[in-house]
């Protein structure tokens, strides 16, 4: 039987630690404020944004909410970001993705002051991560490192396969595992003999966005399996990239969906919000 890694419980512990740290900062007169921008009303984004604001409230971070209409122009959004960059009392800026098609996401990300880039998406944050310098780290990959460490899973020297190469998860994940001294392979849709590659993994991290794609024949016996996917199965039920029923009997530890990686993303965002006032 595999250990099920309880992301909900681990993220709760982290949030309670952050709550104490935020209270200590408040006593020193340091206030933390996160500006959250959503353009349009994508239902999934609305849920994520609501949960992020709830997380802020729980640990004592003020959140400023900017709910902009779908037809907001790129220039209007860039002007708002410029204004928030200049405001001393705003410590972090988060623009929920995806943005409407008429707005250039890269341009928007680049407009955020790297000192306020709590999502860790700015090229300067990504570059700093790659060369081991201080900067914000993308929340989902940072959360996965915490899940592994807080579950006493060794990373150094292990074979790690990251499946997926997105800028938000796959690439920063691979860099973080490298920083923890794993031997890292990034696999993707063009990888040959994919099952042979994923079967080498002591730690397999699936971030492909394909419901239940990873079945037992992709996994080595005793591997640790981390599922980043948030998908709907054929019955509309929430599921990951990993076929939990088929993989669980064979691995040593596994994250469920929901309740695995998901809750960690918000905990790490809140951690970055605290970092944003410490970095000053
Ligand atoms: N959309 C999906 N995941 C994320 C995230 O971590 N941050 C932001 N800003 N948008 C997202």
User: Given this model, what pLDDT does residue 280 score?
Assistant: 65
Give the number of the atom of ligand 1 that is nearest the alpha carbon of residue 265: 6
Model confidence at 162: pLDDT above 70: yes
Contact 172, 119 (CB under 8 A): no
Q: How confident is the model at residue 203 (pLDDT cuts 50, 70, 90)?
A: very high
Ligand 1 pocket test, candidate residues 40, 137, 168, 170, most atoms within 8 A of CB: 168
Rounded-to-integer distance, Cα 260 and Cα 254, Å: 9
pLDDT at position 76 over 90 = yes
Decide if 199 is catalytic.
Answer: no
CB proximity list for 24: less than 8 A, separation 6 or greater: none
Q: Identify the band that residue 224 occupies on the pLDDT scale cut at 50, 70 and 90.
A: very high
What whole-number percentage of the chain has pLDDT above 90? 99
Share of the chain above pLDDT 70, in %: 100
250 close to 130: Cβ distance less than 8 angstroms: no
Q: Rounded to 5 degrees, what angle do the CA atoms 115, 121, 126 make?
A: 85
Q: What is the pLDDT of residue 145?
A: 98
> How close is the Cα of 265 to the center of ligand 1, in Å?
9
- How does pLDDT run across 89-145, given as a tens digit for each residue? 999 999 999 999 999 999 999 999 999 999 999 999 999 999 999 999 999 999 999
Tell me if residue 87 is catalytic.
no
Ligand 1, CB cutoff 6 Å, lining residues:
94-97, 119, 139, 265
Is residue 119 part of the annotated active site? The answer reads yes
- The DSSP letter of residue 228 is -
Mean pLDDT for the stretch of residues 251-267: 97
CA 96 / ligand 1 centre spacing (Å): 5
The mean pLDDT value of the chain amounts to: 97
pLDDT at 279 > cutoff 90 = no
- Per-residue confidence band for 250, with pLDDT thresholds at 50, 70 and 90: very high
* H helical segments located in the chain: 7-27, 43-59, 74-86, 105-111, 123-130, 139-150, 170-179, 194-198, 244-247, 262-278
Contact (CB, 8 A) for 101 and 126: no
Q: What is the pLDDT of residues 236-245, one digit of tens each?
A: 999 999 999 9
Which atom of ligand 1 is the closest one to the Cα of 138?
Answer: 6
Measured from the CA of 94, which atom of ligand 1 is nearest?
9
Quote the pLDDT of residue 1. Answer: 81
Q: How many CB atoms lie within 10 A of CB 11?
A: 26
Confidence of residue 266 (pLDDT cuts 50, 70, 90): very high
Q: How far is CA 62 from CA 22, 131, 200, 203, 273, in A?
A: 11, 32, 45, 37, 10
Q: How far apart are CA 28 and CA 25, in angstroms?
A: 5
Distance CA 69, CA 64 (A): 16
In this prediction, residues 210-224 reach a mean pLDDT of 98
| Residue nearest atom 2 in ligand 1 by C-alpha distance | 97
pTM > 0.75 = yes
Which pLDDT tens digit goes with each residue over 36-69? 999 999 999 999 999 999 999 999 999 999 999 9
**135, 278 contact by CB (below 8 A):** no
Q: Atom 11 of ligand 1 has which residue's CA nearest to it?
A: 97
Check 38, 52, 116, 241 and give the catalytic one.
Answer: 52
Do the beta carbons of residue 241 and residue 229 sit within 8 Å?
yes
Output the pLDDT for position 101: 97
Q: From the candidates 38, 115, 117, 119, which is the catalytic residue?
A: 119
**Least-confidence region, from 123-127, 196-200, 213-217, 230-234:** 230-234
């Amino acid at each position: 039987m595999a250990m099920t890694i309880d992301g909900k419980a681990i993220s709760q512990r982290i949030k309670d630690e952050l709550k104490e740290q935020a209270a200590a900062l408040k006593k020193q007169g340091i206030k933390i404020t996160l500006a959250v921008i959503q353009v349009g009303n994508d239902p999934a984004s609305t849920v994520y944004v609501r949960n992020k604001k709830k997380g802020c409230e729980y640990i004592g971070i003020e959140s400023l909410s900017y709910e902009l209409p779908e037809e907001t122009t790129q220039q209007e959004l860039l002007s708002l970001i410029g204004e928030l960059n200049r405001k001393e009392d705003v410590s972090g800026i988060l623009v929920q993705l995806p943005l409407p098609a008429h707005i250039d996401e890269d341009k928007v990300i680049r407009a955020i002051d790297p000192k306020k880039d709590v999502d860790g998406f700015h090229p300067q944050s990504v570059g700093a991560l790659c060369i081991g310098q201080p900067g914000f780290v993308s929340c989902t990959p940072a959360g996965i490192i915490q899940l592994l460490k807080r579950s006493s899973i060794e990373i150094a020297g292990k074979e790690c396969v990251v499946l997926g190469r997105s800028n938000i998860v796959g690439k920063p994940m691979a860099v973080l595992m490298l920083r923890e001294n794993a031997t890292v392979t990034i696999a993707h849709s063009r990888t040959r003999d994919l099952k042979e590659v994923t079967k080498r993994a002591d730690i397999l991290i699936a971030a492909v966005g394909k419901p239940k794609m990873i079945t037992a024949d992709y996994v080595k016996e005793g591997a640790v399996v981390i599922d980043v996917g948030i998908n709907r199965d054929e019955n509309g039920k929430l599921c990951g990239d990993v076929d939990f029923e088929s993989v669980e009997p064979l691995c040593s530890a596994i994250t469920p969906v929901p309740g695995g990686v998901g809750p960690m993303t918000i905990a790490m965002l809140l951690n970055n919000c605290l970092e944003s006032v410490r970095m000053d």
